[in-house]
């Protein structure tokens, strides 16, 4: 029996179902350095900066005498968690790109041992075409959601221009898909349509998670066990200033523009591979945080007993039908932005997200965490694309005097063929594509996303500016 003095903090319900045989999920954070990585401060940062962030980083999951899962504090050996791969010396940046991609594909598939804390840090000390070195954080989803884990990483960094000042973030209010509980409840008595839409979307979500699968297309693979097969990670970078210009021209939100680009790019790819699938029924599963807050809280605030946004997993999801590629859509790609605006506006005025959260809570109480894991797995399995997003700082950051050139993330553990993660950092929007190797043509998929951005930007620049719509 484990020492009960060390077994004190219960594992949250979501922490349990993210670490089960059906669903073992990880969040990967990538920091690209402007200068070669000097690892002389690694042990200091490990012991005095990273581990103190949260007790879970030095704990493992165990069962107590009542068979309940708890976090047990253990000794952490840095050799078990800090990985420094060795590549051939004096190669070109393009060849190091390939070494980097192969290494990332390998660690995306691997599960961390259950008898050690559920995280790893990988130091890539070789230059690529994107950076002089890369730091990869591999964090199990049981430790927390993207908000918690990104907040943890950002707590290790400082503003590059003035470390005494806090990092600042873009205003999220105009692009937030999740509705405010308070504002919705105030309007609820007079919003019958929103009430109907909420339960209609909720019912469709339940059926979609359990019964209805997407059509088989170039982006949806009917094979089982895709989470155990290799995937490829690729990145696209777009100018935030250009996206803001498109937003102003069209009178929509940044989120509308990004979603329109993603939807249009997906349909272009589907048409490139098989023209018949341009009108197939395909679904995007949008992962959302149920935290109605603005910027990241400090780690100290998140771990307070009465925190408004406590550490952990506070997520839900929404099914969104990917608009079909009609002749009108091909001639005017802005149709995808208008459709994205329509969808997001409709979803924002419902409480479907909270109904889904309630359903998962009820299923947990009645059937246990493994049943919830199977429910989430089925939800991912029956959808073509998983989409998530996080916001990053406005100012450049630095870690131990290493200026951060780029910042992006991805997630693993699900059976989807395409996972799209969106993140902003300084004046760049990074779209990270995790695609099923051998099934998705990642180069063609990237080109279709670039074309979608260029087509939407070109057409938007040709029309007069509109007044901003919130």
168 lies in some domain: no
In a domain, 318, yes or no: yes
What pLDDT is recorded for position 225? 81
Q: CA 154 to CA 148: how far, in whole Å?
A: 10
In a domain, residue 165? The reply is no
The verdict on residue 466 lying in a domain is no
Give the pLDDT confidence score for residue 301 in this predicted structure.
57
What is the domain extent for residue 76? 7-159
Domain total of the chain: 2
Select from 106, 130, 159 the last residue of a domain. 159
- Statement to judge: residues 217 and 297 lie in one domain: yes
Q: Please check whether residues 137 and 187 belong to one and the same domain.
A: no
Q: Please report the pLDDT score of residue 4 as a whole number.
A: 42
Q: What is the CATH number of the domain that holds 82?
A: 3.30.559.10
pLDDT value, residue 227? 84
- The pLDDT of residue 314 is 57
35 and 154 housed in the same domain: yes
What's the pLDDT score for residue 211?
A: 86
Q: Are residues 454 and 390 in the same domain?
A: yes
**Is residue 406 one of the residues assigned to a domain?**
no
Same domain (yes/no): 114, 219? no
Q: Is residue 107 part of a domain?
A: yes
**Are 66 and 196 contained in the same domain?**
no
422 and 384 assigned to the same domain: yes
Same domain, 358 and 316: yes
**Residue 470 confidence (pLDDT):** 39
Residue 328's pLDDT is what? 61
In a shared domain, residues 327 and 246: yes
User: How confident is the chain (470 residues) per 10-residue block, as mean pLDDT?
Assistant: 55 83 91 92 85 88 83 92 94 95 95 93 95 94 79 84 86 52 51 77 86 90 83 95 94 93 95 89 82 53 55 70 77 90 81 84 86 89 91 90 94 92 94 95 96 95 61
Q: Is the residue at 218 inside a domain?
A: yes
Q: Which neighbouring-strand residues pair with 402? A: 399
Shared domain for 437 and 367, answered yes or no, is yes
- Do residue 184 and residue 134 come from a single domain? no
Pair (114, 141) in one structural domain: yes
Q: Looking at the domain assignment, is residue 370 inside a domain?
A: yes
| CATH code assigned at 369 | 3.30.559.30
């Amino acid at each position: 029996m484990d020492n009960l003095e060390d077994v004190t903090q219960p594992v949250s319900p979501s922490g349990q179902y993210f670490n089960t045989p059906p669903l073992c999920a990880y969040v990967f954070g990538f920091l690209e350095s402007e200068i070669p990585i000097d690892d002389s401060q690694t042990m200091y940062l490990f012991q005095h900066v990273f581990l103190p962030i949260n007790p879970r980083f030095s704990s493992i999951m165990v069962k107590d005498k009542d068979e309940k899962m708890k976090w047990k504090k253990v000794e952490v050996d840095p050799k078990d968690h800090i990985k420094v791969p060795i590549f051939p010396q004096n190669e070109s940046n393009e060849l190091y790109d390939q070494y980097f991609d192969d290494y990332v594909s390998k660690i995306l598939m691997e599960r961390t041992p259950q008898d050690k804390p559920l995280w790893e840090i990988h130091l890539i000390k070789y230059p690529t075409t994107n950076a002089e070195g890369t730091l990869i954080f591999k964090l199990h989803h049981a430790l927390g959601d993207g908000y918690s884990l990104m907040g943890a990483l950002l707590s290790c960094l400082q503003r590059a221009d003035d470390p005494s000042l806090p990092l600042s973030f873009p205003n999220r209010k105009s692009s937030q898909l999740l509705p405010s509980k308070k504002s919705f409840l105030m309007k609820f008595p007079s919003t019958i349509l929103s009430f109907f839409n909420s339960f209609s979307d909720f019912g469709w979500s339940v059926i979609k998670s359990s019964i209805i699968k997407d059509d088989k297309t170039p982006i949806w693979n009917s094979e089982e066990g895709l989470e155990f097969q290799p995937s490829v990670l690729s990145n696209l970078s777009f100018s935030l200033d250009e996206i803001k210009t498109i937003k102003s021209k069209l009178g929509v939100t940044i989120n509308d523009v990004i979603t329109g680009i993603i939807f249009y790019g997906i349909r272009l790819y589907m048409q490139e591979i098989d023209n018949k699938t341009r009108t197939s029924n395909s679904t995007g599963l949008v992962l959302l945080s149920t935290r109605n807050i603005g910027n990241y809280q400090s780690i100290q605030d998140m771990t307070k007993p009465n925190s408004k946004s406590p550490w952990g997993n506070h997520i839900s999801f929404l099914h969104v039908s990917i608009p079909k590629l009609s002749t009108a859509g091909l001639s005017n790609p802005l149709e995808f932005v208008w459709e994205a605006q329509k969808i997001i506006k409709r979803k924002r005025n419902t409480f479907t997200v909270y109904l889904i959260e309630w359903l998962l809570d009820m299923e947990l109480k009645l059937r246990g965490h493994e049943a919830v894991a199977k429910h989430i797995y089925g939800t991912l399995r029956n959808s073509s694309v998983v989409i998530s997003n996080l916001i990053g700082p406005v100012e450049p950051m630095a870690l131990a005097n290493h200026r951060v050139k780029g910042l992006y993330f991805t997630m693993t553990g699900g059976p989807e063929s395409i996972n799209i993660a969106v993140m902003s950092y300084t004046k760049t929007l990074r779209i990270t594509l995790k695609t099923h190797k051998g099934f998705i043509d990642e180069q063609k998929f990237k080109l279709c996303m670039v074309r979608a951005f260029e087509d939407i930007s070109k057409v938007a620049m040709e029309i007069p500016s509109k007044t901003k719509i919130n």
